[in-house]
């Protein structure tokens, strides 16, 4: 596994969301796997200034570098190799699903109440803004929550947004800025 950082010269949530969308679009077209990390300084909140891209393939790294190399709003770090026998602090950025039930859903009031409770929880999480063609091209937030542990790295299987989910796990090395 390897990673590199994309750093916004001027931190901005909308610009970082745009970079996350570009990363997603590039990977979706290329078919490679990647995971996104949101590194911080120790005990500091995420400030939407650095996006860390993890990959298990040199080809994926080259695809990214070709895409982002000409963007004057960002700096790209050197590529860092993670030792195969890494054992230490690990982190997972898990997608937090928010799907509103439609009016035809069985037990609609119950499912609507669950949805509203999840929305309230999600308001404390970080998110990126994505556009969805199947939702009329409107912006939709992809919230993520952070889980920390200590151990080795397991299989590298993030979802196509570069995040973990219940079915697609990606534990990443926790390396502070």
Question: What's residue 82's pLDDT?
Answer: 93
Question: What's residue 135's pLDDT?
Answer: 56
pLDDT averages per 10-residue partition of the chain, 177 residues: 91 85 79 87 84 87 76 88 91 80 81 83 75 60 77 82 84 91
Question: What's residue 52's pLDDT?
Answer: 93
Q: How many CA atoms lie within 13 A of 70 on its CB side?
A: 3
Question: What's residue 155's pLDDT?
Answer: 72
Domain span holding position 18: 2-173
User: Where does the chain show beta strands of DSSP type E?
Assistant: 2-8, 35-37, 50-55, 74-76, 80-81, 87-96, 126-131, 139-152, 172-173
User: How many structural domains is the chain composed of?
Assistant: 1
Element (H, E) at 160: none
**β pairing state of 87-96 and 74-76:** unpaired
């Amino acid at each position: 596994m390897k990673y590199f950082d994309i750093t916004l010269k001027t931190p901005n949530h909308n610009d970082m969301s745009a970079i996350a969308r570009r990363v997603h679009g590039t990977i979706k077209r290329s078919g490679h796997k990647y995971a996104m990390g949101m590194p911080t300084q120790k005990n500091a909140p995420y400030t939407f200034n650095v996006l860390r891209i993890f990959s298990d393939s040199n080809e994926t790294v080259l695809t990214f570098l070709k895409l982002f190399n000409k963007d004057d709003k960002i700096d790209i770090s050197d590529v860092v190799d993670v030792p195969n026998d890494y054992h230490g602090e690990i982190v997972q950025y898990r997608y937090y699903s928010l799907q509103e039930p439609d009016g035809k859903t069985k037990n609609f009031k119950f499912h609507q109440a669950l949805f509203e409770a999840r929305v309230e929880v999600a308001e404390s999480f970080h998110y990126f803004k994505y556009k969805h063609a199947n939702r009329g091209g409107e912006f939709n937030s992809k919230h993520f929550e952070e889980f920390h542990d200590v151990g080795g790295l397991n299989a590298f299987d993030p979802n196509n947004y570069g995040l973990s989910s219940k079915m697609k796990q990606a534990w990443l090395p926790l390396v502070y800025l």
